[in-house]
Amino acid sequence: MARYASLYGLFLLQRFKVLLEYRLNFLIGASSTVFVQAAGIATLWVVMRQVPSLNGWSFDELLLVYGLLTASRSIEHMFADNLWTIGRQYIRSGGFDRFLVRPIDPLFHLLADRFNHDGIGNFVIGTLLVVSAWASLGIPLLPLYVLYAVLAVLSGGAIFIALNLLTATTAFWIVESVPVTRAVHEMHEFAKYPLSMYHKGIQAALTWLIPYGFASFYPASYLLGRDVGWLVWAGPAVALVLLLVAYRFWLFGLRHYSGTGS
Amino acid sequence: MTLRRLLSRYTGFSGMAAKEFLAYNIWFWMNLFTSAVAMTIFVFFWKAIYAQADQIAGLGFQQTLNYVLLAQVIAGVGESGILWTFGYQLREGRIALELLRPLDFQGMLYAFSVGNWLTGLLSRTPLLLLALLYGLQPPADPLAYACFAVSFFLGASVMFFFEWMLGCFAFYTTEVWGLGVTLFAIQLFFSGTLIPLDMMPEGLRLFAQILPFHQIVYTPVSFLAGITPVSQAPQVFLGQVAWIVGLAVASRWVFSRAVRAVTVQGG
């Protein structure tokens, strides 16, 4: 474990050396996601000026939901972005074989190979939204709440990573896995808003099937004192189970990997 | 050379757009799926919003629903992606080859874009069906459809020349990714893909109308959604044509200057 931690540090250091060679690109990339998020938030603001609430949620409360989801997503965006490109960048080119002959875990190698700075923008936006909503909603600054929020974002991030790992593993069979990953990943858009505004079937799907709800709606409900039952505590467990399932599937896929012959 | 032969050289590029589209089947379905997700979210979102108010900025629920669904159906179709094309061709050095062809470079890419718009619109038919399922009430007046088609085509042309000018930055910066993402975000908001411009506060709405982005979503869709009456069509078209003429001239001029910088890039 300690060996992998120090290895990751080395990978990260190399990555930053590369990134800082191209300083302007680094800045543009890191801030690019900010613009896209701004478009979404501006839309919400325009609409929420006209009505007092969305399904009983005020503008600030919606920002908390949005912020928690964005922060969770940024974890995946920064640390696991290579899951998106495994088919195109590694398997098709045969570069993946390089991981298999090294004395470290191939999945670790894949993830550590590229820290994605584009996720920094999402992280900053998400954190800012949570902090500002927290302040304007007057949520008490108790250690329990802070710890809960941090844990919620980490579990949310793990859910994002686990779902991408599940879908990226299909690359071992179909090579270009991005459409599969994208289709599942896109479901996180639902979780940008309170799940309570959707049909029961969608709520259930976002809770039990593709559980992005644990990255936003459930933790926000807890912080705002809204009663949604025991599910507010389920996030970390859901994340852990999903990670285990995804990792088993990854190992299964790895055993079936035969290379593209390129 | 006869006009017919000349034209056929360009329409060949329009046909190519259709073939390219058909070659990437799985991507097509994925894009359809993500649009369907967005549509579903919007339907629930606006239902929840209109539970609080009968009218927003003078628009009733059905009108807003019509608008939002149709905007989602055609979202992105009117983009030409000229910026990405330039970025790609510069990076690969292919631009040198393209400029050598005995055809007008801009005319060629315009023809390609026209093909893209047509295939794009056709490819959205499944989304239109989904929109109808979600309660879209299309207008009865055939003129509204004609106005939509004309203003969409003109609007997409406006954006083609606008993107062409922005694309010329690529000749100097050689990197278009940041500009592309920024443009995407600005367009998402100011085109009216997410909300009808009518809902924006006064100052913001005026600003959005000065920018050209609304021409590929808000302008055509508002004819179909009954926001812009058909009687205003001549005025709208005239404005769009003026945009096209102005931008076409400007874009050619900017390009002729920018292309001098291309030599430093090479292939």
Q: Where do the domains of chain A lie?
A: 2-255
Q: How many domains does chain B have?
A: 1
Give the pLDDT mean for B150-162: 96
Q: Do B49 and A54 touch (CB under 8 A)?
A: yes
Give the pLDDT mean for B109-118: 92
Phi, psi for A222 (deg, rounded to 5): -65, -45
CA distance B112 to B107: 9
B247 touches B162 (CB < 8 A): yes
pLDDT at position A252: 95
Measured in angstroms, the CA of B203 and the nearest CA of chain A are apart by: 12
> What number of other Cβ atoms are within 10 A of residue A223's Cβ?
23
Q: Do B53 and A50 touch (CB under 8 A)?
A: yes
If contacts are CB pairs under 8 Å, which of residues 129-158 in chain B contact chain A?
A: none
User: By percentage, how much of chain B surpasses pLDDT 90?
Assistant: 60
pLDDT at position B1: 61
Q: Which two tokens stand for residue A148?
A: 């809960």
Q: Give the model confidence (pLDDT) of A35-88 as tens digits.
A: 888 999 999 999 999 898 999 999 999 999 999 999 999 999 999 999 999 988
Q: Does B49 touch chain A (CB under 8 A)?
A: yes
Q: Does B208 touch chain A (CB under 8 A)?
A: no
CA distance B182 to B156: 19
Q: Give the model confidence (pLDDT) of B77-101 as tens digits.
A: 988 888 888 888 887 777 777 888 8
Q: Do A54 and B33 touch (CB under 8 A)?
A: no
Name the residue in chain B with its Cα closest to that of A45: B200
pLDDT at position B42: 95
Residues contacting B56, CB < 8 A, separation 6+: A47, A50, A51, B49, B50, B64, B199
Strands (E) located in chain B: 55-56, 59-60
Q: Which two tokens stand for residue A259?
A: 């290379």
Q: B47 contacts in A (CB within 8 Å)?
A: 197
CA distance B195 to B188: 10
Q: A179 contacts in B (CB within 8 Å)?
A: 26-27, 29-30
For residue B258, the one-letter residue type is A
Residue A259 falls in which region: left (phi positive, over 0), alpha (psi -120 to 50) or beta: left
Name the residue in chain A with its Cα closest to that of B52: A51
For residue B182, the one-letter residue type is T
For residue B113, the one-letter residue type is S
Residues contacting B146, CB < 8 A, separation 6+: none
CA distance A3 to A104: 10
Measured in angstroms, the CA of A183 and the nearest CA of chain B are apart by: 6
Asked whether residue B21 carries a pLDDT value surpassing 70, the answer given is no
Q: Do B178 and A193 touch (CB under 8 A)?
A: no
**Placement of tokens 């019509």 in the chain:** B66
pLDDT at position B258: 86
A190 touches A212 (CB < 8 A): yes
B29, B49, B188 member nearest A47 (Cβ): B49
Least confident of A9-23, A157-171, B27-41, B193-207: A9-23
The H or E element spanning position B123 is helix B105-123
Q: Give the model confidence (pLDDT) of A196-244 as tens digits.
A: 999 999 999 999 999 999 999 999 999 999 988 899 999 999 999 999 9
Asked whether residue B266 carries a pLDDT value surpassing 90, the answer given is no
Q: Give the model confidence (pLDDT) of B204-248 as tens digits.
A: 999 999 999 999 999 999 999 989 999 999 999 999 999 999 999
pLDDT at position A95: 86
Least confident of A169-173, A254-258, B45-49, B241-245: A254-258
CA distance B96 to B74: 34
Q: B184 contacts in A (CB within 8 Å)?
A: 35-36
B51, B53, B189 member nearest A39 (Cβ): B189
Asked whether residue B106 carries a pLDDT value surpassing 70, the answer given is yes
Q: Which two tokens stand for residue A76?
A: 């995946």
Residues contacting B170, CB < 8 A, separation 6+: B83, B86, B87, B90, B176, B179
CA distance A232 to A230: 5
Q: Which two tokens stand for residue A9?
A: 């540090």
Asked whether residue B265 carries a pLDDT value surpassing 70, the answer given is no
pLDDT class of A30 with cuts at 50, 70, 90? confident
Asked whether residue B264 carries a pLDDT value surpassing 80, the answer given is no
Q: From the CA atom positions of chain A, what is the Rg in Å?
A: 19
- Give A72-102 as a DSSP string: HHHHHHHHSTHHHHIIIIIITTTTHHHHHTS
Angle between helix B125-133 and helix B25-50 axes, rounded to 10 deg? 30
A29, A55, A186 member nearest B33 (Cβ): A186
CA distance B213 to B80: 12
Pairs of residues, one from chain A and one from chain B, whose beta carbons lie less than 8 Å apart: 95
Q: Give the DSSP letter of residue B60.
A: E
pLDDT at position B263: 54
Average pLDDT, chain B: 88
pLDDT at position B23: 60
Q: B48 contacts in A (CB within 8 Å)?
A: 54-55, 197
Give the pLDDT mean for B32-47: 94
- Give A161-178 as a DSSP string: HHHHHHHHTTHHHHS--H
Domain membership of residue B44 as a residue range: 3-264
Asked whether residue B174 carries a pLDDT value surpassing 80, the answer given is no
A-interface mutation test, from B34, B47, B169, most A Cβ less than 10 A away = B34
pLDDT at position A261: 62
Residues contacting B140, CB < 8 A, separation 6+: none
Average pLDDT, chain A: 92
pLDDT class of B114 with cuts at 50, 70, 90? very high
B-interface mutation test, from A33, A46, A51, A167, most B Cβ less than 10 A away = A46
Q: Do B40 and A202 touch (CB under 8 A)?
A: yes
Angle (nearest 5°) at CA A14 between A12 and A15: 60
pLDDT at position B44: 96
User: By percentage, how much of chain A surpasses pLDDT 90?
Assistant: 71
CA distance B109 to A92: 31
